[in-house]
Structure 1
Amino acid sequence: MRISTAQFFETSTTKYQNNFSSVVKTQEQIDSGVRIQTAADDPVGAGRLLQLQQQKDMLLQYAGNMNSIKSSLTNQESVLDSINTALQKVSELALQSGGGVISDADRKSIADELGNIEEQVFSLLNSKDESGNYMFSGSKTDVAPYVRNNDGTYTYQGDDTQLNLQVSDTLSLAASNTAKSIMEGSVNTGRTQAVLQPPSVNDGKVAVSDGLISSNQTFNKSFAEGQPYTLEFTSSTQYILKDATGKDVTAEVPGNGQFDSTKEGAHSVNLRGVKFDINLNLADVPAADLDAAVKGHVFTLEAKPDSFNASRSPGNPSTAQVTGATVTDAKAYGDSFPGNGAVIKFTSDTEYEVYAQPLSANSKVIGKGSLSAAGDSLTAVGVKFDLSGAVKSGDQFVVGANNHQTQSALDTISQLRQALATPSDGDLVAQQKQKNAINSAIGNLQNASAGIDNARGSIGARLKAIDIQASENVSMGLANDSTMAAIGNTDMASASIELSFQKAMLEASQLAFVKISQLSLFNKL
């Protein structure tokens, strides 16, 4: 085999260059502290480093998410604390207004103070975060949670969707709380009523208060199926109680139909989870005539019927209003009336269509009909709607239903304010209505405060979970950094030994290159 001078030269040159490159590379690894300069240096290690870097980036994102959640929850907790303080003040005012020694002027002053608190709570529930998003609207962050209706009631416009953020590979936490879950689920303790039946006239002398729910479970299980009940007085100390079928249920009530209106706690009717109070105002009636004055008064005891609130769309071409609504077909109403409310849309001056709220391009008609005359009423989905004024094509009305099962604190404060603003001095009937409103408000405010306390407890639990997860993420990050260092960082001792060896090889190849470059076949001639 023949080896030319050029081959000797090229071989020695290549070895020299390779050794030089090795020295330079090792020197760079020592200077930078990074062992894997390119993926070719260690394909397996480079792949592992890429995975670890991705995990590190995710940990940084999780840390950002946790900071966002903590900020959001802390702000919400502060707002809820302010709302709770306001509700406690309302409870104090309700108890104060229930005293028998205050006048209409005193109650009016309390009502004015309640109005200010009502505005405060309304504003707090519609609070925004630092980004301008509503805190308590769920996923509808650009929509105010509550709006005030024309009749003074309030409607929740958000949804019940909590916004979640990932804080680890396997855990996500809610960064928000919805006003629906906090406020709208409060049990309404005052959702039953006592109605005096004709021919008796309601002059306030013989009265039965609206009921207060003492056990929601018993009410749903037993009271509801037996209503309406009839309470008939047989004397000034006795009554008979029957259910809707006429069955005598007097024996179910403590006292077995006996009562004493002059003693506190001895004139209550505790029927299947609902408490009614008997109030006799017969100071001007001779003792001998008391039984005759009371006997024959009959009251029905039952849940309050559903009520409705209606509002006209701002862009309506007419000034017509929906002035009232009454259930005419209980089955059709129960089966068809939308839970979120209905939209009545007039397609002409007389023809209308009914949709479920909210109305969209894909909404389906759930009822339709036509008016027979201007200002007429219309009936759809089991409800009769009364109209005032002539409607026009394009008019829309939104109607919401209230089954009184739950009640928000806003509506409770509003109802209490309105009741206390109504004069009642010397009016027994008005005084009984005020007493009903006060007693109902006290119970409902307790339930509302309990709902807020539960929400604050949930916030505290999530903040605690964030602290625990943050510690775990920090530990994972430290382990990640240690592994990345072990894989990607230069082992200085090994690299120094390797560099010395490579330098020796470089010097040897350099000497060999010098010798070989001086060789020539002509020297042998």
Structure 2
Amino acid sequence: MRISTVTMFQASLASMNRQQSEFLHISQQIASGKRVVNPSDDPQAASRAVGVSQSLAVNQQYADARISARNALSQEDSVLGSIGDAIASAKTLIVQAGNGTLSDADRASLASDLNGIYESLIGQANTTNGNGAYLFGGFEDDAPPFVRSAGGIEYFGSDNVRAQQVGPSRQMTVGDSGSEIFSGVHSGSGYVAEADSGNTGSVTFTGPARVDASHANYGDGFTITFGDDGAGNPTYSIVNDSTGAAVQTDVAYDPEEGATLTFGGLSLTLEGEPAAGDEISMAKAQDQSLFTTLENVIAALNTPTDTDAAKAALHNTLSTTSRELDNSLNNVLTVRASVGARINELDVLDSVGGNRELNYKSTLSELVDLDLAKATSDYLLQQAALQASQKAFVGIQNLSLFEQL
């Protein structure tokens, strides 16, 4: 078979080009550190790598979402801590205001201190985050949730709060509504007693205290109404507001000795002299605005106590306020505990997400990363092959009959 010079040149050139291409491919692998530089290098591995890369990107998005959620919850936790401290300070002032040796001026000074706490709580209730959104506005976070009106502080936010996807199967609320924090009460809160604002007598109360939570009527509301026996002697009657049934009727009451009433699993201690028609109501703690509580006690402290009825009204207001502040503080602490639990859960999700990221990266490495030791060996081998093909081409190039002449 006769092989022409052109054929030998073309075959040698093709061989040298092929060696150069393979040498270049190995050089690219070493430079990139990847075994699969182009999808054609390993179509199956390249396809799987795309899926793993997408999963890795989604996992990173969840990690970013957890950072955002943690920042929001951490800020809320800080504000709730300040709110709790403010309520505790208010409770201290309420106890101080109960000192019978204080003058009206002294109580007015305490009212001024309470007003400062009141104003600070309004500011905390309208706290904004780093994006300018109101922290306790719920969905309505583009305007202050708590606004002054003729009737006091009103909530204009939303009771629904935003949730964020922080894991493949976990959607977490990243805030709490202002109504839940500033108007809610803890589910375990007890009874709150309140004297009617129209009372004209000097009767005061202490309590109520829980005696028997298993009582059939425990949890119902009750009203104590004072009257007289027709001879000017005080009496009291108790009505179950929930059923309308009379619990006790026209029971004699001695103003000098007072009395401890026991009914519906509760006890209430009375002192002082009531006027006919005076009332004291009791009910399980219900939603009560913290701002309304402070407004009521500030007004009471600014009212002169120049009569026995005024002194009794102040005492009863302080007693009711103290119980309501306890309930508000317990509610804030409960919400704060919930925030802390969510932050702890984010830590757990971070740990799980970190393990998932490690697994994805390990799988991706197995699919596309380069075995550097093997690649280096192949690089040297391919370099030797390329040099051999180049030398062979040079040898073929010098083959000519004219060299024999």
TM-score relative to the length of structure 2: 0.81
| 1:79 alignment partner in structure 2 | 79
| 1:488 alignment partner in structure 2 | 368
Q: How many angstroms does 1:11 deviate by?
A: 4.4
Cα pair distance change 1:421/1:239, threshold 3 Å? closer
1:250 partner SS = strand
The structure richer in helix per residue is 2
Gaps of 5+ in 1: 197-201, 283-293, 305-403
| 2:166 alignment partner in structure 1 | 167
Do the aligned residues in 1 keep the contact of 2:52 with 2:360 (CA within 8 Å)?
yes
| 2:180 alignment partner in structure 1 | 181
In structure 1, distance between residues paired with 2:401 and 2:287? 109
Do the aligned residues in 2 keep the contact of 1:230 with 1:243 (CA within 8 Å)?
no
Cα pair distance change 1:451/1:239, threshold 3 Å? closer
CA deviation vs aligned residue, 1:266-313 (integer Å, no higher than 9, x gap): 62334436665533349xxxxxxxxxxx8xx45566579xxxxxxxxx
| 2:22 alignment partner in structure 1 | 22
Letter in 2 for 1:56: L
Do the aligned residues in 2 keep the contact of 1:259 with 1:268 (CA within 8 Å)?
no
Q: How many angstroms does 1:86 deviate by?
A: 1.3
Give identity over the alignment, percent.
28
Cα pair distance change 1:220/1:87, threshold 3 Å? farther
CA deviation vs aligned residue, 1:156-206 (integer Å, no higher than 9, x gap): 11112333333332333332222222222127954755588xxxxx6425x
CA deviation vs aligned residue, 1:7-57 (integer Å, no higher than 9, x gap): 655444333322220111112212332221111112222223223333333
Cα pair distance change 1:134/1:212, threshold 3 Å? farther
Q: How many angstroms does 1:446 deviate by?
A: 0.4
In structure 2, distance between residues paired with 1:246 and 1:411? 29
In structure 1, distance between residues paired with 2:88 and 2:65? 34
Residue among 249, 253, 256 paired with 2:247: 249
| 1:385 alignment partner in structure 2 | none
| 1:455 alignment partner in structure 2 | 335
Cα pair distance change 1:247/1:21, threshold 3 Å? closer
Letter in 2 for 1:78: S
In structure 2, distance between residues paired with 1:447 and 1:98? 19
Please show how residues 264-343 of structure 1 align to structure 2 within 5 Å.
Answer: 267-272=259-264, 277-281=269-273, 297=276
Please show how residues 468-487 of structure 1 align to structure 2 within 5 Å.
Answer: 468-487=348-367
In structure 2, distance between residues paired with 1:406 and 1:181? 9
In structure 1, distance between residues paired with 2:5 and 2:391? 17
Q: How many angstroms does 1:139 deviate by?
A: 2.1
CA deviation vs aligned residue, 1:344-400 (integer Å, no higher than 9, x gap): xxxxxxxxxxxxxxxxxxxxxxxxxxxxxxxxxxxxxxxxxxxxxxxxxxxxxxxxx
Residue 204 of structure 1 pairs with residue 201 of structure 2:
yes
CA deviation vs aligned residue, 1:207-253 (integer Å, no higher than 9, x gap): 465985869998997634xx6665545485864545579855239xx
1:135 partner SS = coil
Q: C-alpha root-mean-square deviation of aligned residues, in Å?
A: 3.9
Q: How many angstroms does 1:79 deviate by?
A: 1.6
Letter in 2 for 1:456: R
Do the aligned residues in 1 keep the contact of 2:49 with 2:368 (CA within 8 Å)?
yes
Residue 502 of structure 1 pairs with residue 382 of structure 2:
yes
Do the aligned residues in 2 keep the contact of 1:242 with 1:249 (CA within 8 Å)?
yes
In structure 1, distance between residues paired with 2:159 and 2:244? 43
In structure 2, distance between residues paired with 1:489 and 1:521? 52
Do the aligned residues in 1 keep the contact of 2:194 with 2:316 (CA within 8 Å)?
no
1:127 partner SS = coil
Residue among 409, 416, 425 paired with 2:297: 416
Please show how residues 144-163 of structure 1 align to structure 2 within 5 Å.
Answer: 144-151=144-151, 153-163=152-162
| 2:321 alignment partner in structure 1 | 441
Letter in 2 for 1:417: I
Letter in 2 for 1:280: G
Do the aligned residues in 2 keep the contact of 1:138 with 1:176 (CA within 8 Å)?
yes
Do the aligned residues in 1 keep the contact of 2:235 with 2:251 (CA within 8 Å)?
yes
Residue among 223, 230, 246 paired with 2:220: 223
1:424 partner SS = coil
| 2:129 alignment partner in structure 1 | 129
In structure 1, distance between residues paired with 2:383 and 2:244? 111
TM-score relative to the length of structure 1: 0.64
In structure 2, distance between residues paired with 1:521 and 1:164? 87
CA deviation vs aligned residue, 1:87-146 (integer Å, no higher than 9, x gap): 111111111212322222221111111111111111111112222221111122212121
Gaps of 5+ in 2: none
1:249 partner SS = strand
- Relative contact order: is structure 1 or structure 2 higher (C-alpha 8 Å, sep ≥ 6)? 2
Do the aligned residues in 2 keep the contact of 1:195 with 1:299 (CA within 8 Å)?
no
Cα pair distance change 1:211/1:59, threshold 3 Å? same
Residue 466 of structure 1 pairs with residue 346 of structure 2:
yes
Q: How many angstroms does 1:441 deviate by?
A: 0.7
Cα pair distance change 1:430/1:210, threshold 3 Å? farther
In structure 1, distance between residues paired with 2:139 and 2:213? 31
Cα pair distance change 1:208/1:149, threshold 3 Å? same
Q: How many angstroms does 1:509 deviate by?
A: 4.4
In structure 2, distance between residues paired with 1:228 and 1:261? 19
In structure 2, distance between residues paired with 1:49 and 1:77? 41
Do the aligned residues in 1 keep the contact of 2:224 with 2:236 (CA within 8 Å)?
no
In structure 2, distance between residues paired with 1:18 and 1:216? 91
Letter in 2 for 1:269: L
Letter in 1 for 2:248: T
